Amino acid sequence: MARLQDLQAEDMQVYGWAVTHGCLVAEDAAVGLGISPERVARSLELLAAVPLISRDGDDQHNGGPPGWSPVDPQLASAEVAATESRLRRGLAGIFSIWDTVDSLNALYATGVQEAAREAPLELVESLDRVIEMLEEASDACRSEVMTSQPGGGRPAAELEQSIARDLAMIERGVRMRTLYQHTSRHHAPTQVYVERATAIGAQVRTQVELFGRMIAFDREVVFLPHSEVKGGAAVIRDPSTVAFLCTAFDRNWQMGAPYSPALADGEVREGVELAILTMLSEGLRDETIARRLGVSLRTCRKYIADLFEQLGAESRFQAGYLTRARDLLDGSAARGAHLGE
């Protein structure tokens, strides 16, 4: 089926001849345009199909050569209008399909999010998404939040981000308990944070070592560090696993010492020293001991040097021997004995 867009320059020349002369005879047009009769014939066939020309009946009736009269292009434009109408309907259908796809995408995304909220374990790799989920859990928290924060102290920027969220929960009546390591008492930003939080009811305790990093909300959802992606999180909702982790927190909480700004009290200092002696007796490297205590390697080695001095030891071997000889790794003996005795 011929279409207007099928017309070529040569076809337009033939049509122009018909318009100029009022009637087109193939032989005359071929001579006048300088093109072959066959090409004129093909153009006439195409122009008649559009239609931009029609046969002149008078010429055929008089027995003369067949002639063609030009047709007003406005009449042929009806085809354009019909094509445009079809295209518009097609576009409307396409837009309708995209609207449906958008609706399905929204439904799918909502469903995936809802399913993730109910999943027993959700691994989140994006730090921004982890922060967003923590804020959502904080806003929804009704009764209790438990936090275990290993290390010698959280970064000041991180503490500043969390203080507003934590204060908002406490003001709503949410019970907040946080565990730090003893070494965090030396960390000035942590001291400021604890002072602000405890002033309105938060509870903070410390231990020599913690079982790991976690944040639990209402004993229903627990955030743990992602094992492979820094800044990511494992979000746990399985009731049995959540209960186990919260019980571990409770036991560590019972053994913790109330937070004070500095490591001045003998019980806390003794706990750090005993932990170092225990890890030395296990043959752990300084780097491992430092990581478990949440201190820098330099600080860890200073602790070890002080212990050697108190023990009167010049090597790890001597320190191990003197530790065993004095039963310093026996909890009851260690609490009542001075390292240098």
Task: Using CB atoms within 10 Å of the CB of residue 163, give its burial: 0 to 12 exposed, 13 to 18 middle, 19+ buried.
Answer: middle
pLDDT at 28: 84
Separation between Cα atoms, residue 190 and residue 199, nearest integer Å: 14
Task: Using CB atoms within 10 Å of the CB of residue 291, give its burial: 0 to 12 exposed, 13 to 18 middle, 19+ buried.
Answer: middle
What stretch(es) of the chain map to CATH 1.10.10.10?
A: 4-71, 266-336
Q: Using 50, 70 and 90 to split pLDDT, how confident is the model at 268?
A: low
Which of 268, 284, 292, 295 minimizes the C-alpha distance to 320?
A: 284
Query: In this model, does residue 73 exceed pLDDT 90?
Result: no
Average pLDDT for 291-305: 82
Residue 222's DSSP bridge partners are 216, 236
Average pLDDT for 290-303: 81
Query: In this model, does residue 224 exceed pLDDT 80?
Result: yes
Rg (CA), the chain: 44
Average pLDDT for 305-313: 82
pLDDT at 144: 96
Average pLDDT for 158-165: 79
Separation between Cα atoms, residue 271 and residue 275, nearest integer Å: 6
pLDDT at 89: 85
pTM for the model stands at 0.55
Q: Using 50, 70 and 90 to split pLDDT, how confident is the model at 12?
A: confident
H or E segment to which residue 146 belongs: strand 144-149
CATH of domain 4-71: 1.10.10.10
3-state secondary structure 174-235: CEEEEEEEHHHHHCHHHHHHHHHHHCCCCEEEEECCCCCCEEEECCCEEEEECCCCCCCEEE
Which range (50-54, 173-177, 231-235) has the least confidence? 50-54
Three-class SS state of 142: coil
**Using one digit for the tens of pLDDT, what is the confidence trace for 188-223?**
788 888 888 888 889 999 888 888 899 999 999 999
Query: In this model, does residue 333 exceed pLDDT 50?
Result: no
**Using one digit for the tens of pLDDT, what is the confidence trace for 28-58?**
888 888 888 888 888 888 888 877 888 876 5
Query: Is there a contact between 315 and 304 (Cβ–Cβ < 8 Å)?
Result: no
Q: Using 50, 70 and 90 to split pLDDT, how confident is the model at 287?
A: confident
**Side chain identity, residue 127:** L
- Roughly what angle, to the nearest 10 degrees, separates helices 297-311 and 316-325? 60
**CATH fold group of domain 266-336:** Arc Repressor Mutant, subunit A (1.10.10)
pLDDT at 261: 59
Strand order in the sheet with 24-25: 24-25, 67-70, 53-56
- Mean per-residue pLDDT of the chain: 81
**Side chain identity, residue 164:** A
**Side chain identity, residue 238:** D
- Percent of the chain clearing pLDDT 70 (strictly above): 85
CATH of domain 121-258: 3.30.870.10
Query: Is there a contact between 293 and 183 (Cβ–Cβ < 8 Å)?
Result: yes
pLDDT at 331: 53
Average pLDDT for 62-71: 74
Average pLDDT for 125-129: 92
pLDDT at 179: 94
pLDDT at 162: 78
What letter would DSSP give residue 326? T
pLDDT at 335: 42
pLDDT at 252: 93
Q: Using 50, 70 and 90 to split pLDDT, how confident is the model at 225?
A: very high
What stretch(es) of the chain map to CATH 3.30.870.10?
A: 121-258
Residue 234's DSSP bridge partners are 123, 224
Query: In this model, does residue 114 exceed pLDDT 90?
Result: no
pLDDT at 62: 55
Which range (153-157, 226-230, 286-290, 296-300) has the least confidence? 153-157
Average pLDDT for 76-83: 69
pLDDT at 332: 42
